[in-house]
Amino acid sequence: MINIQNIKAWTDKHLKGDPVIWSVVFALGMLSILVVYSATGTIAYFKYGGNTEYYLLRHSFLVFLSFFAMWVAHKVDYRYYSKISRLALWLSVPLLIFAWQFGVNLNSASRWITIPFINQSFQPSDLAKLALIINLAGMLSKRQQNIHDFKKALIPMLLWCGVICGLIAMTNLSTAILLFLTCMLLLFIGRIPVKYLAMLAFVGVFAVSIAMVVGQRGETAISRVENFINKENIPFQAQQSYIAVATGGVTGKGPGNSSQRNFLPEAFSDFIFAIVVEEYGMIGAGIVILLYLTLLYRGMKAAAASGRAYGGLLSAGLSFAIVIQAMVNMGVAVGLGPITGLPLPLLSMGGTSLLFTGLAMGIILSVSRGEIEETPDALSKKQFSNLPKKEAA
């Protein structure tokens, strides 16, 4: 017989932070396993000789690995991430350049680096996104007293945003633009004057313009925008996505009963939301949207409750990055925007994306659990005050 009190005691001890965030992430992870299994069944059957469980086992392992990464990240005091992020930011620059010039090419874009010995692909842009948001939150919190000092406070932030977003744009324009907008939003929350935000916008437009000419995805991005505006030459994957959404109805066809998974390219990644709508209907799609909005609300609540500017900016930045990407992905699947190639966080199949999203959620949970360690002076005073009066004397 399961003892509810023992389970509650275990979760209270080992799963700190906002319980709603834990619940939402777990629900999205379980749904991800179900939908990815459905979306990859046909591919696995033909590619692996009838072994339809191949992607199920692989993706389930990655989902639980992301849960573990989230658990580890939430155990660490979020203040330490400010120090780690600077190193990660410097490391991401050569990795992005290497991926651009020598990375694994897929769909005319070199976004991946193959890790030696384990032969697994790694996408440096995921590391760069996380490092930039954490570092930007740290720089903003340290410069609140001299936030109007252009040379000391703003130039380092402008440079990092321009360099990282520019390098990502060389191979992935949609990710770079989304990250740039997230940084703009974070800077606005951090009280950066509007005139300086306009300067950052100019830097962003300049970086994107260079990427359109020098980078790998300029022509593809232009053609996708033109096709979306003109509606004359709708790409094949968009057509199949719209069919999946249209045939889902209110309640859907039921788990595992998707028809478009056999025709829709990247049904397990970029267009996984179309499979969700087809199998679970408008009701299931509404629940998924509600889960992401709940993540945003709880992340912002953790930001508001944080006693430090760094914790608040960190939670807000990471929450916006995850949820905005989710909304863009779902909007593309239902025809509200041009094709971007962005995965749906916590739902799409993918190793690097799942891992770094789990780390980001763990950091938000670390902020939500409050200050983990008190200062030595405060701790000694607290211990002294708890002693009996005779002993204290």
State the Cα–Cα distance between residues 306 and 175, nearest whole angstrom: 29
d(CA 281, CA 88): 41
How do the domains of the chain map onto residue ranges? 17-370
> Looking at residue 385, what DSSP letter applies?
H
Burial class (CB in 10 A: 0-12, 13-18, 19+), 189: middle
Strand stretches in 3-107, DSSP E = 104-106
Q: Side by side, which strands form the sheet with 109-115?
A: 104-106, 109-115, 120-122
DSSP 8-state code for residue 112:
E
Confidence at residue 202, expressed as pLDDT on a 0 to 100 scale: 83
Q: What is the enclosing helix (H) or strand (E) of 121? A: strand 120-122
Burial grade of 340 (CB within 10 A; 0-12, 13-18, 19 or more)? buried
Phi, psi of 136 (to 5 degrees): -65, -40
- The pLDDT, as a whole number, for residue 229 is 84
Output the tens digit of pLDDT for each of the chain's 393 residues: 456 666 556 565 667 788 999 999 999 999 999 999 999 887 887 777 777 788 889 999 999 999 999 999 998 888 889 888 889 999 999 999 988 888 777 666 677 787 776 667 788 899 999 999 999 999 888 877 777 777 777 888 888 888 898 889 888 888 999 999 999 999 888 888 888 888 888 878 887 888 888 776 777 788 888 888 887 778 888 899 999 999 998 998 999 888 888 888 888 888 999 999 999 999 999 999 999 999 999 999 988 888 788 889 999 999 999 999 999 999 999 988 888 888 999 999 888 899 999 999 999 999 988 744 443 444 444 443 444 444 333
Please return the burial class of 274, using the count of CB atoms within 10 Å of its CB with bins 0-12, 13-18 and 19+.
Answer: buried
For residue 316, the model assigns a pLDDT of 93
